[in-house]
Structure 1
Amino acid sequence: MGALNQGLQCNRCGAVGSLSEELQYNGCGAVGALGERLQYNGCVAVGSLSEELQYNGCGAVGALGVGLQYNGCGAVCALDQELKYNGCGPVGALDQELQYNGCGAAGSFHKELQYNGCRAAVALDQELE
């Protein structure tokens, strides 16, 4: 575990790391937080940034096809569309490319995460310490 500049641990298609707080991934899901706590279970997730997000499978319930709006270190997104994070977040789509600015990375959930500076490049099915 640790911040991105301290290393990222990947397990299968998940990871253990941090952006501003700790993100802990299990399998294809995650337990972690950006501003508040996001709890993921497998490919399903229950969590919240400013309100609660319930994920069904690899998708989301509550804003299916519409948009999820987050404040601060959150995101503006629509399912399978674009996720835009402010500050310590990424720009990308769910199964497409995630572009982090500052302490982030460019890559994809099911592809490769490329970190700049003291970050690393690793596929989510590999392991990085």
Structure 2
Amino acid sequence: MSEPQPSVLFVCVHNAGRSQMAAAFLTHLSQGRIEVRSAGSAPADAVNPAAVRAMAEVGIDLSTQTPKILTPETVRASDVVITMGCGDTCPVFPGTTYLDWKLDDPAGQSLEAVRPIRDAIEQHVRALLTRLLPEPT
């Protein structure tokens, strides 16, 4: 019998930069072993173009992603909810793990400024992946 698949929700206000990059990294690195969502309380019209370019540099395509609205149902359906240090309010439900990652906002930043944010997000995601999917012993 297989273990239930963990689910992770990444949240930031506009769901256009940090949360999109984090979701893309986790989707890529988990190879389908984790259900991944991202959302925002006030979604932007489109994903930040600098975030799309920064992720393309590491072989991950964000060009077809769109910002999504945060709903209580999305939070309730997630085992882990990660906010991106943007002061976002998120419904709290028992049994859900909440983490807050302090990350600079890539909104309005150049590609050069977004690269270190992207790299920090990747480090956080890799640590999360190790926690959620420990290697079999």
TM, length-normalised to structure 2 = 0.27
Which has the bigger relative contact order, CA under 8 A and spacing at least 6?
2
TM, length-normalised to structure 1 = 0.28
Higher share in strand: 1
Q: Which of the two has higher C-alpha Rg?
A: 2
